[in-house]
Structure 1
Amino acid sequence: MNKKGIIITGIGVVIGLILGYAYYHYIGCLSGTCAITSKPLNSTLYGGLMGGLLFNLFVTSPKKKE
């Protein structure tokens, strides 16, 4: 992966972390039995993972020279 791809994926992780915590804060799980949204750390890390994966879809691989 080139430098541009790492930057795009990193931006996706940061946005995912923010949105993951926002999901916990505003929606969350009131009963405490939800695996992901019951704790802020779990929700934030899951959001970061999903954000990184989503933004990684937009990274193009460099063309190989023959």
Structure 2
Amino acid sequence: MENKMRFSPNKWKVFGALIGAIGGYFYWSEIGCLTGTCPLKSQWQTMVPYGAILGFTISGIITDILKKK
């Protein structure tokens, strides 16, 4: 028997969170707040988790829509 690596059922949500975290970092580095007065966009430590949560949520919504079809 061949031992195949299986992914969890939430692989697309985890992948979406990873892409969101990377997107949050690039958003901070390219667009972020220059003055440092913006509480959300001024530090990468806040933008990366925010992007991950956003990516996780969006990929979950897309996954649910595709499952219904």
Q: How many residues align?
A: 60
Q: CA deviation at 1:58?
A: 2.0
TM-score, normalised to structure 2, is 0.77
Q: CA deviation at 1:45?
A: 0.7
1:15-37 deviations in Å (ceiling 9; x for gaps): 00000000000111011111211
TM-score, normalised to structure 1, is 0.80
Q: CA deviation at 1:9?
A: 0.5
Q: After TM superposition, what 4+ stretches of structure 1 lie above 6 angstroms from structure 2? A: none
1:17-63 deviations in Å (ceiling 9; x for gaps): 00000000011101111121110110111000100000000233x8x
Identity of aligned residues (%): 31
Instruction: Please tell me the residue identity of whatever aligns with 2:63.
Output: V
Structure whose alpha-carbon radius of gyration is higher: 2
| Equivalent of 2:56 in 52, 57, 60 | 52
Paired residue for 1:31?
35
Mapped partners of 1:8, 1:58: distance in 2: 9
Q: RMSD over aligned Cα, in angstroms?
A: 1.9
